Structure 1
Amino acid sequence: MHALLSLALPLLLLLIIIICNCNVPVDSLNGEGYALLSLKQSIHEDPDGALSNWNSSDENPCTWNGVTCKDQRVVSVSIPKKKLSGFLPSSLGSLSDLRHVNLRNNKFSGSLPVELLEAQGLQSLVLYGNSFTGSLPKEIGKLRYLQNLDLSQNFFNGSLPTSIVQCKRLKTLDLSQNNFTGTLPDEFGSGLVSLEKLDLSFNKFNGSIPSNMGNLSSLQGTVDLSHNLFTGSIPASLGNLPEKVYIDLTYNKLSGPIPQNGALMNRGPTAFIGNPGLCGPPLKNPCSSDVPGANSPSSYPYLPSNYPPAESSRDEGGKSGKGRGLSKGAVVAIIVSDVIGICLVGLLFSYCYSKVCACGKGKDENSYGIEKGGKGRRQCFCFRKDESETLSENVEQYDLVPLDTQVAFDLDELLKASAFVLGKSGIGIVYKVVLEDGLTLAVRRLGEGGSQRFKEFQTEVEAIGKLRHPNIATLRAYYWSVDEKLLIYDYITNGSLATALHGRPGMVPFTPLSWSVRLKIIKGTAKGLVYLHEFSPKKYVHGDLKPSNILLGQNLEPHISDFGLGRLANIAGGSPTLQSNRMPAEKPQERQQKSVSSEVATTNSPSNLGSYYQAPEALKVVKPSQKWDIYSFGVILLEMITGRTPVVHVGSSEMDLVHWIQLCIEEKKPLADVLDAYLAPDADKEEEIIAVLKIAMACVHSSPERRPTMRHISDTLDRLVVSGD
């Protein structure tokens, strides 16, 4: 028996060792991996297989979809727009190095686990577009490094915890479209001093607006407090916010006079509508004398007579003078110095012209001039000696210039192809060109002349050719010669937005665009403009945005076209184009009677109403501004909501669409009175339509500084859920 035990004991030990060695691979995943696996286990729907490679057999989770590590520690979990359905487990709080969580546009539900807020290094928590419920835990104040908190489009409720003011580094706070209630913390404005974006709209916040919100000097874009239950008066301190900030206070229960100072001054009524208790400008209902503050200086616009600029007449020692402005002697001295300066500049220019631009007397005529059209006519172009000499030798030799490596056709193929006229305007003719291999292109002919400016044209067209964005028409190639200038684009199949909205004169009945399609077009156009304004090499301005310049692709996706076309046509020496920003203002009747070109078929077609899309200041200011595009975009939004052209006929008279909408808002007309009749089947989308209308009214604000940036507009539009997304 003893011998048998002696033999069995080593075998038993060997068996235990084998079993232990077999279990080693199973336990190889580290603790952070198991914490994330608990998230996978809490998800009961993953239709796209976003978490398919989250496996327990891995050593760590650093190679998993949506997981980012640094030094083998999880720092980011980002799984947006994957239709994930489930809840957040408390184990996520054990990821001690976690910095970023982005689960936007999924189907998560349940409450926000308190344990998640134990990851005190968290910098960004983005959960918008889900179905979270419950209150925001007071532990949010522990996140001292938090910069971005976006909980919008959920079902959070309860009051905003006072501890949130401890998040001193918070830059973005978006709680819009939830069910938050209660008052804002008293120290809201004094605590969140780094705040750049604030959106509390579409909640049930009540009580007064904290007066210290005027201390948030870093705010940008739109401060949206609309669609809440705020009461009391508007704090005059809100005027201390940066003047470029647009403050949306619509649809609350505010009362009393509207302060007219700083960021609150000279506002249109659209920022205050939906507050029956408000009075004074810019609203039509005046304040009665018994309303507190009705006669206070803050209730009226500042006028020069209200504040004589005494400080402007200080002497060199810094002491204030008598406040009567400049003396007669000072004025005379300024005028004399200006005249002398102008004379000196004129003499300097004459000297340079005589030295650099000598094109005739006593000199070889060809030394600084170039021949135009080969007909013996010569012209002098100052400060372009090298450019002109090179071009005069080579301008006839230029071939088709590709701007894309995928361009596989040459000039001969292009000239032999079948061509159909798509449209004509003052800028030139546009052709649909079908090559022998079936490739379809859009070719714009800019006309003749202007050979001396080839280098300038080349620089401009090649910069435009580098722009690549799914919502911008792509310039593929160009051709330049003395007698011909061509721009070759991708052909966009479904025509323009103008035709899709209004049809074409003599056209058979067309299929109207549904609201969901219109909203997709709006969003795509906004993204294209954001790219032009912020991500293109020169932060471009389109300058001539209108529905006829927004082309629709195979799936009705928008492509912004004709960008930079006016400048290219001007350089090419064609017909004067896009000069409306230098023309005096015209009356609506005068503008409507003019057509863009005598070659265009119908004067009243939407494509001929371009001046109505231009910002008011474009008629006075020469230098283009991105705010011009934002105004044009706002008019397009109004057109898509109302189905009307930019000229609205009211009885025997007419007014532009912007003023007509403003009048409808002031008269409190129901949405059905202004809505496109074709949108009647989309009556259930009223909230979305109103939200876009609000954006449009902000875009067409008469003051450029009050208009939001295109990035803010695009971000706001992205919060609107479109059926089929």
Structure 2
Amino acid sequence: MFPFPFIFLFFLLCCNILSPLVVNSLNSEGYVLLTLKQFINDPQNSMSNWNSSDENPCSWNGITCKDQTVVSISIPKRKLHGSLPSSLGSLSQLRHVNFRNNELFGTLPQQLFQAQGLQSLVLYGNSFSGSVPNEIQNLRYLQTLDLSQNFFNGSLPAEIVQCKRLKTLVISRNNFTGFLPVGFGAGLSSLEKLDLSFNQFNGSIPSDMGNLSSLQGTVDLSHNHFSGLIPSSLGNLPEKVYIDLTYNNLNGPIPQNGALMNRGPTAFIGNPGLCGPPLKNPCGSDTPTSSPSSYPNIPENPSHDGGIGSVKSEKNKGLSKGAVVGIVVGDLIGICLLGLLFSFFYSRVCGFNQDQDDNDVNKGRKRRKECLCFRKDESEALSDNVEQYDLVPLDSQVAFDLDELLKASAFVLGKSGIGIMYKVVLEEGLALAVRRLGEGGSQRFKEFQTEVEAIGKLRHPNIATLRAYYWSVDEKLLIYDYIPNGSLATAIHGKAGLVTFTPLSWSDRLKIMKGIAKGLVYLHEFSPKKYVHGDLKPSNILLGHDMTPRISDFGLGRLANIAGGSPTLQSNRVAAEKLQERQKSLSTEVGTNILGDGYQAPEALKVVKPSQKWDIYSYGVILLEMITGRLPIVQVGNSEMDLVQWIQFCIEEKKPLSDVLDPYLAEDADKEEEIIAVLKIAMACVNSSSEKRPTMRHVLDALDRLSVSSD
């Protein structure tokens, strides 16, 4: 039997040993994250508050929880050096992993893909290597996979096509090899962003890639080893999509359909085997025009036994020199005769239209005479002081002419229902943005001139400046300053084809919000006609060098309509009618109507003439988009809800701000009061009653007061 003092000492010893276990109540997810901390060298101490003495890791830097459970790990740009432990896969509710722009290395642990609820995995800008595990098929909810700028190799696993909800697939600048998986296009039909550039993929481009009808921006397949023909099905992609096929081993003619049309040669360079427009390399008669199975081979010199053209003897295998000379001389004489006839016809028709009096001109119009001069509309005449086929400057600082513009290098920036936008770089380096309105007739020039010159007089730091325009029978061009940092839509959501994506900080977002408000106040109150934009959205808000927003595309629909773009606009109206039918069907699911593209005011479907209150509603939606990082149409279960409805739902359900806030703003948590204040301004702007919405002047004043109070 132990003496009493010994028992007492033993009791104290046990208490000392067990006491840390009693005090330290960190849950199991916290210990998993501490394992991650042990695997990583953290020179900037971004994990300094990861302590075992906490009850849970929800207050730790870079960790986001929901109901005290870890749902997000986001530690970008902190020079983390090390590898990822396999234990991360045991975080059962993990939704988002973001370690972009660090110095992590090693392979992706297979166990990571046991977190089957993972929605985004962003690892670009590290030094990961090895292959992507087949277990990626477990991630049925995965929407974003960005592995760009690493050292991954091997083929893309066939199992990736099981990730049916994948919207962003960016794996550029790695060492991936092999063919794309079978069913790539059919299986990943939800893709919105696709960048496979700067890898070593080979084989043919899958024909089912044309099924990716949700793609946006640039589809980048450049700098690989894709070979064979360009499948014509790529033309089925949305027409706004820019398809970059440069520097591969593709051959044959470039299909001229859908999204493949109207592309400059820059989309196809680096493929010596390609031919046909827009390249200067013509296709030969033996060039296949589609996949080998589509058309049979036709011999160059077919002969038919017993027919007139049959070749019977060695003598008749080719044409004699005399026959060739005769054919050439005959062709030249024919061309000269055609030229003389054309000159005679031109002088008679154009002279007729220029020399006759008004009655004769009207008769000439009725007979629809054609010549290489402007055709006059029956109700409009050309301005006497504007030369045909001339560039008209709207600014005294315009120092280029039409010849310089036409000789410049042009790159397609995007394509919309109204026209194609090009970046044009003049010889001296000046960059311009040129919008081509279309190839309609010469309708209503004077009306166009009045409208475009009124727009050209608008001068404000937050309005894109229209510098010049060009009008001819076949071309109508609008020339703007080129604004280098893309659109606000890209700045919020990123863009397929971009190697890097730097999210906007809250201070930048607030600056942009105020800039847009200033531009709208100018349009609404100080412009000559107190204009209404009528189609305000992030895609037509451009960002300058210092992130100063410039409202663009102002008055564009009106100009396109005047310029003879009616077929395009008519197709847009048909699309709008289909959209309205879709909205009506959705309204039965979500209980209210989803309007337009998410930016249109509720009254826009009922009232024909836009009002300033429309712009205010659209501006409110843009504020919500910048706060939440979400698109204007939100997927809720199996139905859709516009962003305004979704925010209202979150408010009614008393969701915490973290559930609404853009995850990229997690580092700006100290700005919570400011963010909530802007959220209130946004909700006032999107009031369903147009009369209850504030004016843009009141909105700007509120934002100014907010900035002053935060200083």
Q: TM-score, normalised by structure 1?
A: 0.44
